[in-house]
Amino acid sequence: MTLTEIVDIQKIRADFPVLDQEINGKKLVYFDNAATTQKPIAVINALKHYYEFDNANIHRGIHTLAERATRDFEATREAVRKFLGAASTEEIIFTSGTTNGINLVASTYGRKFIKEGDEIIISGLEHHSNIVPWQMLCEEKGINLKVIPVNDRGELDMEVYDQLLSEKVKLVSVNHVSNALGTINPVKEIIAKAHAVGAVVMIDGAQATSHLDIDVQDLDADFYAFSAHKLYGPTGVGALYGKKALLEAMPPYMGGGEMIKEVTFEKTTYNELPYKFEAGTPNIADVVALKAALEYMDSIGRDKIAAHEDMLLQYATEQLLQIEGLRMIGEAKNKVSVASFVIEGIHPQDIGVLLDNLGVAVRTGHHCTQPLMKRFNILGTTRASFAVYNTIEEVDRLIAGLHRVKKMLA
């Protein structure tokens, strides 16, 4: 079989209008998918349709448009529930994205239930968005932050994790997949071990949801956050899953409309789940369009998407390793379609600038993971991350581009 037979790649590419353009006179190769994926026409049309026909505020009006908008908004909640394998839609809170979800948990669960002298564990693979909210909480409350170290392959050192765990640990927050290296973390094991000492676990799913099947009940995750824009959906929207009992025990995050049951100047009672955490008019249009993104992924088949991306990663890794002076950063046994690398004597920014002139979009720099870059003693990497619409020919363009870049900078 040829390498591209897993999915109907030409049909898929036709679904993404943005791909059909030239950059600097060359056909665009978009390999910055871990930053954000492109949007299929189904998602763009869902946004357009909402504003053209259904726009209204939700959960309030009794007119037809309000009913339609509310119905579609809540239909996405059900779709997300199914997508994450959650037990109930009460456990699905719409957010502006993963960062928002993590901050919500830190500010509500964290503030209420974690106290001075307690410990929070994160990992050396975390994005700044899963470091800083916990640091802020730790500083405010006198909590100690512990970090699971990363080995040379870019995997978490689970032996040290075992040693870090104790009765003092109240919360563990790690990513399911590393944005900088692509490492898939053994979150099921991490969660089980944390639960054994009575800690709750927050999973940053930003980089996992477009590649892996997620089942929060099977993982037994307490909190799981993701962003729509990383899985072919719109920007500015995401969801936070939380176990019902935890969400019920948590105080609200923001006050305002929608999250209340009854307001008097003496006392306000809060709305039930999930509305308790959704103050103000939400990002209705983007929530509605998120459903189209989930349906799009299902229409191709999530296993096929993963297989296609895996094939691209294997091919790209083989080809990249043939480039003299190139070193892969992140060689975990389990990883998603992220190829992060450095080339001896060349600054990643120079690679990025020149590849852009060749029409190839990659990410260069520290990927918002400065502690991780420090761990590998590098300034940053060049990262090519693959999505369902990428092809073998595009990988070849990257490789040819890198040879050219090396020659130009030599």
Residue 90's alpha-carbon distances to 213, 292, 347, 397, in angstroms, are 21, 21, 48, 46
Cβ proximity to other proteins: between 317 and 357 the closer is 357
Distance CA 199, CA 248 (A): 17
Q: How far is the CB of 106 from other proteins (least distance, A)?
A: 25
Q: How far is the CB of 382 from other proteins (least distance, A)?
A: 11
Cβ proximity to other proteins: between 301 and 371 the closer is 371
Of 409, 407, 404, 398, nearest to 341 by C-alpha is: 398
Helix, coil or strand: residue 32 = strand
Q: How far is the CB of 408 from other proteins (least distance, A)?
A: 6
368 catalytic, yes or no? yes
Cβ proximity to other proteins: between 89 and 357 the closer is 357
Cβ proximity to other proteins: between 263 and 409 the closer is 409
Rg (CA), the chain: 22
Cβ proximity to other proteins: between 26 and 261 the closer is 26
Of 191, 178, 164, 184, nearest to 126 by C-alpha is: 178
Strand pairing category for 169-175 and 144-148: unpaired
**Contact footprint for other proteins (CB under 8 A):** 24, 347-350, 352-354, 357, 364-366, 379-380, 408-409
Hunting for tokens 């390793």 — which residue is that? 321
Strand pairing category for 144-148 and 119-123: parallel
Strand pairing category for 363-365 and 169-175: unpaired
Of 351, 369, 370, 371, nearest to 361 by C-alpha is: 351
Upper half-sphere CA count for residue 206 (Cβ side, 13 Å): 29
> Do the Cβ atoms of 231 and 387 come closer than 8 Å?
no
Q: How far is the CB of 27 from other proteins (least distance, A)?
A: 16
327 - beta bridge partners? 342
Q: How far is the CB of 353 from other proteins (least distance, A)?
A: 5
Q: How far is the CB of 320 from other proteins (least distance, A)?
A: 20
- 263 Cβ contact partners less than 8 Å away, ≥ 6 residues apart: none
Helix, coil or strand: residue 335 = strand
In the set 323, 368, 378, 379, the catalytic residue is: 368
Cβ proximity to other proteins: between 68 and 128 the closer is 128
242 - beta bridge partners? 223
Distance CA 212, CA 348 (A): 29
Cβ proximity to other proteins: between 299 and 349 the closer is 349
Backbone angles phi, psi at 155, to 5 degrees: -110, 155
Q: How far is the CB of 22 from other proteins (least distance, A)?
A: 13
Number of other residues whose CB lies within 10 A of the CB of residue 335 = 23
Catalytic annotation, residues: 368
